[in-house]
Amino acid sequence: MILEDRVAIVTGAGSGIGRGGAEIMAREGAIVVIADLSPERSEETAAGIVKEGGRAEARPTDVADDSAMEELIKGTVGDHGRLDILHSHAGIQVEGGLEEVTLEGMDDSWKLNVRAHFVAARLAVPQMKAHGRGSIIFTSSNSGVFVDAGILAYITTKAAVIMMTKQIALDYAKFNIRCNALCPGWVDTPFNDPYMRQMGGRQALEEYVQNQIPMGRWATVGEIAESILYLASDRSSFMTGQALVIDGGECFG
């Protein structure tokens, strides 16, 4: 198993892509700490992994709470002696253009989509330096590498994550700490609900996916999870500072 005995933290792991990434890392031997805002979803993900023979534990965490994040990182290292992988995934999608997005909506987007990643990495890096290696994965989006109508707060913050990724990668490569951005396209999860509302409902979004994605379909959570495994493992050992786009060709369509 390619992640045997490595310790991973995944935020936003209670459902969707976060859960899929946690599950595949556990299947490859990692000890996975499930950090989701919902205690119920955290426990559900961890229990599912353990049922399948993996190792996981639930640590419900509000990523917007700095003290909670500090407790998450320090508690994980205290219990397991190290931190090898951080997948900072939790985020928010706020719909609307310049005149529709409220100040609160922009602030919430920045707090969850950028600042929470910064805080997580800032706490994780010293632990990784102490052990001479580490992989940090930030979830951005293909929306961070191209523009789309009517999601200003989301695009702005996801683009910021990519630049933060590159800077952290540059600064910490000498410590054998890699940092990459995961940039998924359309995956059929409840995370899309705000954009679905903006587009006018499920049918409109289905038509967009069929007509605008060159591959003509949604990605599966499993397909994105494979990319997470790649970034977390030594399979990507010479890759850092990159935005890995998995979107069925939408950026080029």
- Domain 7-189+220-247 sits in CATH 3.40.640.10: no
Least confident of 81-95, 141-155, 170-184: 141-155
The answer to whether the beta carbons of residues 174 and 208 sit under 8 Å apart is no
Closest CA to 228 of 10, 4, 5: 10
Closest CA to 241 of 136, 126, 103, 100: 136
Confidence of residue 96 (pLDDT cuts 50, 70, 90): confident
Which position among 154, 172, 195, 230 bears the catalytic label? 154
How far is residue 141 from each of residues 38, 62, 124, 168, measured CA to CA in Å?
A: 23, 21, 22, 18
pTM of the entire predicted model: 0.94
| Domain ranges within the chain, ordered by starting residue | 7-189+220-247
Q: Which residue has the higher pLDDT, 250 or 106?
A: 106
- Residue whose pair of structure tokens reads 């999608």 in the numeric block: 93
Q: Which helix (H) or strand (E) holds 11?
A: strand 7-11
pLDDT of residue 155 exceeding 60, the answer is: yes
Give the model's pLDDT for residue 253.
Answer: 57
Confidence of residue 226 (pLDDT cuts 50, 70, 90): very high
Quick check: is 172 catalytic? no
Give the model's pLDDT for residue 251.
Answer: 75
